[in-house]
Structure 1
Amino acid sequence: MIYQGNAITVARNGDDIATLTFDLKGESVNKLSSAVVQELGDAVKALENENGLKGLMITSGKDAFIVGADITEFHGLFDKGEEYLVEMNLKVHDIFNAIEDLPFPTVTAINGLALGGGCEVLLTTDFRVMGEKAKIGLPETKLGILPGWGGCVRLPRLIGADNAVEWIAGGTENRAADALKMGAVDAVVPNDQLEAAALDILARAASGELDYQARRDEKKQPLKLNAIEQMMAFETAKGYVAGKAGPHYPAPVEAIKVIQKGAGEERARAQAIEAKAFAKLALSNVAFNLVGLFMNDQVVKKKAGKYEKQAQPVKQTAVLGAGIMGGGIAYQSASKGTPILMKDIKDEALELGLKESRKLFAKQVERKKLTTEQMAEKLTNIRPTLSYGDFGNVDLVVEAVVENPKVKGAVLAEVEESVGEGTILTSNTSTISINRLAQNLKRPENFCGMHFFNPVHRMPLVEVIRGAKTSDAAVGATVAYARAMGKTPIVVNDCPGFLVNRILFPYFGGFSFLVEQGADFQRVDKVMEKFGWPMGPAYLLDVVGLDTAVHAGEVMAEGFPDRMGSMSGEGDKKSAIQLMYENDRLGQKNDKGFYAYEEDRKGKPKKVSDEAAYALVKQVVKEEKEFSDDDIIARMMVPLCLETVRCLEDDIVASPAEADMALIYGIGFPPFRGGALRYIDALGVAEFVKLADRLAQELGPLYAPTEKLRKMADAGKRFYPTASQG
């Protein structure tokens, strides 16, 4: 044995070939933590001191090769400042360069996922052999940073600047066939032939058949591009990528600039440029928040995994109601491989649900994600029915009928009679209390909410709502089914609007106040879109449907009369939202709401300004005030953030991580801002409380901070502890 560590071993075989194996003890995957990188440095030194070696093969003892750096360390490392980060990256470069400069040929056998730092490791070797199902990529830009351990330097020299820009700016995971086509790897073989193929390459390099030194020289030298080729490769890409990434995500464009600046330099200088650019991005709020999101996502997945362990597998499901929502649920279930019965009381409704599913599958075929044969096969997972005849074998039912407590209650009681004693019943309600719906059920312990967001196939979040009598087994089965459908389930407790809608409606309340005081709703939309929301509040209301918004607003008003009472719009207190609804302006449903809608060239609704909407809004304007962009942002964001705080305090949601992820996955809260609670942390809890108090004096209880939040502010606490606080 040449070297033995906690994560890395280096052994020598009879042919004088060394094998460096990544196999981190006690972990299911290999990660490049600070400790593992230190070990890699020691292992490389041991290799340098070993005499008579003829080659090195790098392998993994896990199913994945290396999933990347240990992201849990990032906030702590970022806290140490720019100088530290530059120095840290240069030390890693020294280790990686030492692998690249070993006095014998080197090869990596890539058996599985190799991302980020893992991909940068394999770029150091002279050759690469890849398993058929493995993937490689540099997804750092998705975390607001860029590859800092040589990815921006080596990849362009290996696959060409234009291909490297596409991989790095897009943060893509690339399949073996694509990697081979691009020249990122030298061979693709079945996993059981990986080691033999890698050893064969080393033998051919040792015999002089393959020139490994020429490979190295190419990676160390400047890119062979003239001025026109540079302009074509970089300037055009910068414009395109900036347009796609948007102004709030600088990392993809910065990565292109780093590749461009380093293109004319040799290895050391290009790596110094990369190290400095990485450090600058790492200290940005965007990187801090996107890394925080990754960590929150891990928390959510871990919790879902724990719930899943409490459940029996869900093999056969059913959806009640075959409208757009039911059809969307059926499609999602069928597309991910769980057979589903789709039940309705009318043939034409079933046809509508099937049509919705067929349309979504057809889009997958158009995008070449599925073949026609695969589509036909997946469609057989959906079985339409008018009766409960086949419900005896169903493990879980999703009720998705009209949003009316009496109708839902009757349908749930009816289906309970037709299913087995262990079948889990769920309701896709967006507002109706789960405890209320459970009142008519004989087995309330088998019942919970399963709230999908529209459109089902696009929105990642599913709220799993626990009622007072819901069992852990029911929650576990529902979480398991949501995950099998490719969704992110977050478990919440029952209350009006549950988590996401309860938080969203104070945001709409803030919008109504602004309009009453004379703010132009189109300007409010523009300001909030510039802030980072995918659409402003007026546009979002049109997409949700003004009828849905009014109904949900009434539920909120009843549940939280002290601060949301005005949402019921009684007497002269009508809001612009209610006025739209009463004048049959339902939004995109009937092509008129705050905006009018026309079909664009692709047949999708395109919003246009509508004087009739402005005329209606004038009826609710009580005064004319001038608002700055900051005023608009504060009046919109403070009530949303405060309601998130209340949901955490009321134990509707278990942790800040789950609250913030629900908002990002459920309503498109700007990811680069990290979520409502991270947004409060960024402003400073004490500053946020001051701002809320000032607004509450004028606008009332919707803007009033809670007592617990005041205590947090006084104590200098945060929702997310800093790295130094642990």
Structure 2
Amino acid sequence: MIYQGNAITVTRRDTPSGNNIAMLTFDLKDESVNKLSSAVVAELSEAVKAIQAENSLKGLLIASGKDVFIVGADITEFHTLFDKGEAYLEEMNLKVHDIFNAIEDLPFPTVTAINGLALGGGCEVLLTTDFRVMGDKAKIGLPETKLGILPGWGGCVRLPRIIGADNAIEWIAGGTENRADAALKVGAVDAVVTAEQLEEAALDILDRANAGELDYQARRAEKTSPLKLNPIEQMMAFETAKGYVAGKAGPHYPAPVEAIKVIQKGAGEERGRAQAIEAKAFAKLALSSVAFNLVGLFLNDQVVKKKASKYEKQAQPVKQTAVLGAGIMGGGIAYQSASKGTPILMKDIKDDAIELGLKEARKLFAKQVERKKLTTEQMAEKLTNIRPTLSYGDFGNVDLVVEAVVENPKVKDAVLTEVEGMVGENTILTSNTSTISINRLAQNLKRPENFCGMHFFNPVHRMPLVEVIRGEKTSDAAVAATVAYARAMGKTPIVVNDCPGFLVNRVLFPYFGGFSFLVEQGADFQHVDKVMEKFGWPMGPAYLLDVVGLDTAVHANEVMAEGFPDRMARDGKTAIQVMYDNDRLGQKNDKGFYAYEEDKKGKPKKVTDEAAYALVKEVVKEHKEFSDEDIIARMMVPLCLETVRCLEDGIVATPAEADMALIYGIGFPPFRGGALRYIDAMGVAEFVKLAEGLADELGALYAPTDKLRQMAQNNEQFYSSDNSATQA
């Protein structure tokens, strides 16, 4: 034994040719994966020193004792580390560079055996060795730009010198996870073998390097020298890439372009100088609000996944499901279930509805074939997981039913009570309702404990969120089975309690309320859209209402007004109601706040419609001038306040779940971290002051809660500096 730590061991090994080598194995105790925490990096430093002290070694093999290689740095430490400032982060990175450089400079050949995921810092570890052998099921990549930072432990320096600047830019700016065949094609790895052959192949490479067949010194020279690009090649590689990536990433996500700049600045430098450039750029980006929020987003996502995983462990297997109501929504649900391997019955009372649902599923599968995600044979096989039916004949074997008929309580009640008599006693019934109370729908059921909400967002195949709504009588078993099924469908389920609109729609409609106030006071709805899109929303409120459908919006608004009359009921008509009254339903009939024409791809394209402006005039009560800051405040304050109320009312359990639901469900700008993190960033006291000022003019929709005022007085936040929720 050369070294023994909590995460790393170094043992002696003999290769087939009898060469004495060191085998450094990452195997973090009491964890399912390997992560590069501060403690593990310190161990790596000690392990490398122990290797350097050995005189008779002829090689180093780096491997993993787990199913993954190394999933990256320990992201739970990031916020605490970032708080220590730019100088600390720069120095920390330079110390890690020293450790990694020591591996790269060992006086014998080195190889990494990549048996599973090798991401971020894990990928940067394997770039230090002379050679890399990859398991055929493994993936490697540098996803740091997705966290608002860039590879800071040599990724921006070594990867371009190994696979070329163009390929490295694509990997780093895109933050992609790359399969073994793609890694081999660009030269990121030297061989791809099965997991069983990994060690043997790695040892063979060391023997061949020691025999002079493979020139490991030439490899090192290439990695530690400037990039072999002349000035014109550099300009073409970097300037073109910066323009393209900036357009794709958008103005709110600077990390991808910064990464290209780091590669460019370091291209003409030797290793040490290039690494110093990288370390400085990492430290600067790490202190940005974007990095802070995207790291928070990652950590919140882990909270959501852990909660779902706990439910999943308690669930009975869901092997056969059914959807009631075909059409577009039913077809989307059937497609999602079938594509992920859970067979589903699709029932309706009309043949044409069944055909519409099948058409939707076929269209979505065909797109997968077009993108080469599926073969035609695989599509045909997956389509057999959808069984259309006009009867309840096979419902006795169904484990879970999703009711997806029209958003009408009487129709839903009739369908749910009917299907309850056709299924087994343990079958879980769920309703894909967006607004109707689960308690209300449960009233006429004989087994309300087996019933909950399962709210999908449209389009089903794209939107990651599923709200699982617990009614007063819903059992843990029903929630667990529904969560497990949502996860099996590839969705992110978040469990919420019953109330009008549940979580996401309850929070969204005060946002639309803010929009209505702005229009009434003379704001141009197209300008409001532009301001909110610039703020980071994928579409402004008028455009979003057109996409949702003005009929859907009016119905949901009535539910909210009935449930929360103090702040959501309105006197007189709103612009939304006027559009609906004039049969302007949005994209459904090509006219709403905008008119819609087909673009070259056959998708609806919005255009200005003077008729919409003429209609809006009838609700305008005054003409005020609004700055962009005024518009943002009037839109965001009611949305954030309703999120606070949902947390206080126990509709959602944690800030993490509330924020993730808004990001996954309605496209809240990810780089802003969610509504509660947005309040934290502004400062709770500052937010309360802003809200109170607006409430004086606009009423209860803008009034802070007593508890939020108390938080402001006590200088509290929703998240502590280590990302854990301080309020539940």
Please give the TM-score of this superposition, normalised by the length of structure 1.
0.99
Name whichever of 10-19 and 510-519 sits farther off.
10-19
CA shift for structure 1 position 723: 3.3
Against the structure 1 CA distance between its residues 241 and 724, is the aligned structure 2 distance closer, same or farther, given a 3 Å change threshold? closer
Deviations 1:606-635 (A, max 9, x none): 000000000000000000000000000000
CA shift for structure 1 position 17: 1.2
Aligned to 1:116: 120
SS of the residue corresponding to residue 67 of structure 1 reads coil
Match 2:400 to one of 396, 401, 404: 396
Aligned to 1:699: 698
Taking the aligned partners of 2:339 and 2:723, their CA distance within structure 1 comes to 45
Say whether the 8 Å CA contact 1:116–1:140 is kept in structure 2: yes
Would you say 1:168 and 2:167 are equivalent positions? no
Aligned to 2:670: 671
Would you say 1:19 and 2:23 are equivalent positions? yes
SS of the residue corresponding to residue 21 of structure 1 reads strand
Deviations 1:323-353 (A, max 9, x none): 1100000000000000000000011110000
Say whether the 8 Å CA contact 1:66–1:115 is kept in structure 2: yes
CA shift for structure 1 position 308: 1.1
Taking the aligned partners of 2:65 and 2:400, their CA distance within structure 1 comes to 39
Aligned to 1:576: 575
Match 1:298 to one of 286, 297, 302: 302
Say whether the 8 Å CA contact 1:308–1:479 is kept in structure 2: yes
CA shift for structure 1 position 289: 0.1
Deviations 1:264-307 (A, max 9, x none): 00000000000000000000000000000000000000000111
Would you say 1:599 and 2:629 are equivalent positions? no
Aligned to 1:476: 480
Alignment of 1:37-76 (within 5 A): 37-76=41-80
SS of the residue corresponding to residue 426 of structure 1 reads strand
Alignment of 1:634-649 (within 5 A): 634-649=633-648
CA shift for structure 1 position 722: 1.5
Q: 1:53 corresponds to which letter in structure 2?
A: L
Deviations 1:27-62 (A, max 9, x none): 000000000000000000000001100000000001
Alignment of 1:247-326 (within 5 A): 247-326=251-330
Alignment of 1:510-521 (within 5 A): 510-521=514-525
Taking the aligned partners of 2:126 and 2:208, their CA distance within structure 1 comes to 19
CA shift for structure 1 position 172: 0.2
Taking the aligned partners of 1:84 and 1:310, their CA distance within structure 2 comes to 44
CA shift for structure 1 position 724: 10
Alignment of 1:463-502 (within 5 A): 463-502=467-506
Would you say 1:239 and 2:238 are equivalent positions? no
Aligned to 1:620: 619
Q: 1:599 corresponds to which letter in structure 2?
A: E
Name whichever of 304-313 and 598-607 sits farther off.
304-313
SS of the residue corresponding to residue 383 of structure 1 reads strand
Would you say 1:529 and 2:507 are equivalent positions? no
Q: 1:577 corresponds to which letter in structure 2?
A: I
Taking the aligned partners of 2:7 and 2:313, their CA distance within structure 1 comes to 29
Alignment of 1:71-86 (within 5 A): 71-86=75-90
Aligned to 1:352: 356
Alignment of 1:75-474 (within 5 A): 75-474=79-478
Deviations 1:493-525 (A, max 9, x none): 000000000000000000000000000000000
Alignment of 1:647-726 (within 5 A): 647-723=646-722
Taking the aligned partners of 1:52 and 1:722, their CA distance within structure 2 comes to 48
Say whether the 8 Å CA contact 2:262–2:277 is kept in structure 1: yes
Taking the aligned partners of 1:406 and 1:85, their CA distance within structure 2 comes to 60
Deviations 1:166-204 (A, max 9, x none): 000000000000000000000000000000000000000
The answer for unaligned runs of 5 or more in structure 1 is none
CA RMSD, aligned part only?
Answer: 0.8
Give identity over the alignment, percent: 88
Taking the aligned partners of 1:18 and 1:99, their CA distance within structure 2 comes to 12
Would you say 1:6 and 2:6 are equivalent positions? yes
Say whether the 8 Å CA contact 1:79–1:723 is kept in structure 2: no
The answer for unaligned runs of 5 or more in structure 2 is none
Q: 1:278 corresponds to which letter in structure 2?
A: F
SS of the residue corresponding to residue 129 of structure 1 reads strand
Say whether the 8 Å CA contact 2:79–2:723 is kept in structure 1: no
Taking the aligned partners of 2:247 and 2:317, their CA distance within structure 1 comes to 44
Aligned to 2:555: 551
Say whether the 8 Å CA contact 2:299–2:723 is kept in structure 1: no
Taking the aligned partners of 2:515 and 2:13, their CA distance within structure 1 comes to 70
Taking the aligned partners of 2:213 and 2:621, their CA distance within structure 1 comes to 84
Aligned to 1:586: 585
Taking the aligned partners of 1:180 and 1:298, their CA distance within structure 2 comes to 31
Say whether the 8 Å CA contact 1:311–1:477 is kept in structure 2: yes
Taking the aligned partners of 1:66 and 1:424, their CA distance within structure 2 comes to 39
Taking the aligned partners of 1:565 and 1:163, their CA distance within structure 2 comes to 56
Alignment of 1:25-40 (within 5 A): 25-40=29-44
Q: 1:718 corresponds to which letter in structure 2?
A: Q
Taking the aligned partners of 2:22 and 2:722, their CA distance within structure 1 comes to 39
Aligned to 1:542: 546
Taking the aligned partners of 2:76 and 2:508, their CA distance within structure 1 comes to 30
CA shift for structure 1 position 535: 0.1
Say whether the 8 Å CA contact 1:107–1:198 is kept in structure 2: yes
Say whether the 8 Å CA contact 1:76–1:724 is kept in structure 2: no
SS of the residue corresponding to residue 449 of structure 1 reads strand
Q: 1:8 corresponds to which letter in structure 2?
A: I
Taking the aligned partners of 1:3 and 1:309, their CA distance within structure 2 comes to 38
Q: 1:149 corresponds to which letter in structure 2?
A: W
Taking the aligned partners of 1:155 and 1:264, their CA distance within structure 2 comes to 15
SS of the residue corresponding to residue 586 of structure 1 reads coil
Name whichever of 187-196 and 9-18 sits farther off.
9-18
Please give the TM-score of this superposition, normalised by the length of structure 2.
0.99
Q: 2:12 corresponds to which letter in structure 1?
A: R
Say whether the 8 Å CA contact 1:413–1:441 is kept in structure 2: yes
CA shift for structure 1 position 309: 1.4
Say whether the 8 Å CA contact 2:112–2:202 is kept in structure 1: yes
User: How many residue pairs are counted as aligned between the two chains?
Assistant: 721
Taking the aligned partners of 2:569 and 2:623, their CA distance within structure 1 comes to 24
